[in-house]
Structure 1
Amino acid sequence: MENAKKPSCKAHCLILSYPAQGHINPLLQFSKRLEQRGIKFTLVTTRFIVKTLHTASSSTSIALETISDGYDDGGINQAESISAYLERFWEVGPQTLSELVEKMNGLDSICPIDCIVYDSFLPWALHVAKKFGLFAASFLTQSCAVDSIYYHVHRGLLKLPLNDDEILLPGLPPLKPHDTPSFVYDMESYPAIFPMVVTSQFGNIHEANWVLCNTFYELEKEGLECVPLDSNS
């Protein structure tokens, strides 16, 4: 049975961020734009990160919920390594996100969740959305140029390791190897991060209802139009 909603609630989006400032801020700014259009949002991050947020001085009332990354007392600093942190987060995150959706979409919910807008670094959120029959939008928190480079590496269109040749990618100016993100240019130094930014975030992105990017269309028009996130991605 469909839950009743307040007339003022056009829709309710759960905004899930990877627990890092460079990811929370873009998703928060996007959320405020949704709010301006009458769409309710609830920002979600990890329990540890919420302990570090300075919400008291905020001029905007933000609905905030938490999930667990498996390290509620110390976050990534509590883990033995980045690899251990990500592995644990990938185990605990989907379970606690599911529990949150169940709680917020309970029988007494006035404005249940309609859509999960999730950080592309957390692709397992798509499976949670599908589990509950919700819409899902993958949000790329980095610029289109950076994501385009990652995407071409993911598709095997940009071969690694890079050599000294000039890099020519659709929609981007000619690049030197050192112009690319450090996770690509010096990938051996980031054995845990590389799979997340190159492989994981694009692995199921074609299954999302929408793909959103943290950019200004007019600034990166060519790049945006040259990244076909289709079923072959």
Structure 2
Amino acid sequence: MARGSGSGSAHVVALAFPQAGHTNPMLQFSKDLASQGVIITFVSFAFDHHRMLKADKTLQRMGIRLRFESIPDHLPPGVDIVSDLFKIFGQLYQMEGSDLEKVIQRLNVTGPPVTCILHDVFMPWVAQVSHNLNIPRAVFYTQSATVGAIYHHFKYVQKWNNCEQDSKDAVVIPAIGEMRMPDLPSSFFPPLLTAGYLDICLSLVDSFNRASWVIWNSFDELEGKAINHLREANVPVCTVGPLIPSAFLDRRNSEDTQFGGSPWEEETEECMEWLNSKPPHSVVYVSFGSIATISTKQIWEIGRGLQSSGQNYLWAIRPSAGQTTVWENFWEGFAEEIGDRGLIVKWSPQLKVLNHPSVGAFMSHCGWNSTLEALSCGVPLLACDLRFDQPANCKLIVDLWKMGIKLRRTQNADGDVMFAWDEIERCVRRVICSEEGAELRKNAVRCKESAKKAKMEGGSSHSNVNGFVKEISK
């Protein structure tokens, strides 16, 4: 019988925000639950349902069976999760829940009845559906526990004073310590602050206290102080991470080699063949996630810095809006200049890349999923935080776990603030070529072993998943 085909009494309806950084960890948690016999009905929104049907085929090849449903999203045709992100967020954040309620009512009739609703924190309206149907609810939080504790602090303890992001002021947050202004999530500063994003993030903290569980993609040994602080504040934290396909961490299912919900085709064969030709720890992998947009000027700086470093690099970069190829981002002759020392692809199988022995560093925007993937593969980070929760993640990487270095931004002659090519060159050499880099790698490997232990039998996250399954099976 396929994993998740449903011999138990627990039935979870899962609803994710339709962006890879949210969908992938919820799919992975759904797989973890399905491996214990929990029936999972994964509900997607109409504009994204085709991707979930593709994921279903991928999961079936792994021997994992989830059920998939969709509900209307009331979005205009042709929306794009990258260019229309804030439009999509605005619509899905404030929906009313009648469509989801109808799906759950139908599932309750056809059986087995739904015993838990699992939903992304960015969809607070699901609380009313849970109340109407008298079904326990679990909030799925996709950022770090540290970021959650920061928002919790400014929701209930200290009023935000609208400091400047580049000021030298600092705040002290219990269980976290001193945070400089540049280390806080970018929602505390314009333009996200003036757009109301901080108000939304603080309001979402309310959902912690009204839920039966807050499922966190982290683990106790990684963020123990922040997690314990939230628990002491009566937040029903259930850490289940890192939510990484089993083949790369606990190895309980060797067929589980990808999340299943990749937004683009991965150039797997080309990446693996190229990596196989490189010495151990010699390659810098570069990727800034599924939604980050980077200016052509910044792309030029990265390209020049990588070339000047003299090190091997694999760079996953999508064509910008209106472009047909990634090469339109670069100067004439760049493709020839790279030679065999670099490989540029539109999209890569990130976990397979990070797990390859030739990879020695990951230049990343420090999104939480990418951070956990690097950590789970024991790869040090070149931290280029951009926005949202990434500055706080960067502080964890550099100051707490000591498995990466932070690249500094500078202002160029045109007034643009960016990561300059010479800073990129210097930091790449620090991580790949120096004793400092070797020490960062040792720390990253220690984090990897800690993550593996948390997910293994008897580990903190594995035990929490078992406890969650027992509670929703009552």
Normalising by structure 2, we get a TM-score of 0.43
Residue 211 (structure 1) aligns with: 214
Q: Is the 8 A contact 1:68 1:89 kept in 2?
A: no
SS of the equivalent of 1:43 reads: strand
Using a 3 Å threshold, how does the CA distance of structure 1 residues 121 and 81 change in structure 2: closer, same or farther?
A: closer
1:144 pairs with 2:148: no
Q: Which amino acid aligns with 2:206?
A: G
Q: Identify the range of structure 1 (64-73 vs 172-181) with the bigger mean alpha-carbon deviation.
A: 64-73
Is residue 115 of structure 2 the alignment partner of residue 114 of structure 1?
A: yes
How far the C-alpha of 1:190 sits from its partner, in A, is 5.9
Aligned to 2:427: none
Q: Which amino acid aligns with 1:29?
A: Q
For residues 131 and 35 of structure 1, the distance between their equivalents in structure 2, rounded to whole angstroms, comes to 26
C-alpha separation in 2, matches of 1:193 and 1:124: 17
Paired position in structure 1 for 2:311: none
1:105 to 100, 108, 121: 108
Aligned to 2:50: 51
- Distance in structure 1 (CA, Å) of the matches to 2:156 and 2:191: 16
Query: Is the aligned partner of 1:167 residue 2:171?
Result: yes
Note the C-alpha offset of 1:151. 1.8
Structure 1 CA distance for aligned equivalents of residues 145 and 220 of structure 2: 9
Q: CA deviation at 1:115?
A: 0.7
Task: Report the counterpart of residue 180 of structure 1 in structure 2.
Answer: 184
After TM superposition, the structure 1 = structure 2 runs for residues 31-110 of structure 1, keeping only pairs within 5 Å, are: 31-53=30-52, 54-55=54-55, 56-58=57-59, 59=62, 60-71=64-75, 73-75=77-79, 82=86, 85-86=88-89, 88-90=91-93, 92-106=95-109, 109-110=110-111
Superposed, 1:13-28 pairs within 5 Å as 13-28=12-27
Q: Which runs of 5+ in 1 are unaligned?
A: 1-5
Paired residues of 2:15 and 2:44 also in contact (CA < 8 A): yes
Aligned residues of 2:139 and 2:207 also touching (Cα < 8 A): no
Name which of structure 1's ranges 85-94 and 210-219 shifts more when overlaid on structure 2: 85-94
Alignment RMSD, CA only?
2.8
Aligned-partner Cα distance in 1 for 2:142–2:99: 23
Q: 2: CA distance between counterparts of 1:220 and 1:126? A: 27
Alignment-derived partner of residue 3 in structure 1: none
Q: How many residues align?
A: 221
Q: Which amino acid aligns with 2:222?
A: L
Which digits, 9 at most, give the CA deviation of each residue in 1:184-225, with x for residues without a partner?
2445466153333222x2233312111221111111111011
Structure 1 residues 16-43: Cα deviation after superposition (integer angstroms, max 9, x where no partner):
1112111111111111221122211111
Q: State yes or no: 1:125 paired with 2:126.
A: yes
Alignment identity in percent? 25
> What aligned pairs does 1:215-230 form with structure 2 within 5 A after superposition?
215-227=218-230, 228-229=233-234
Gaps of 5+ in 2: 236-474
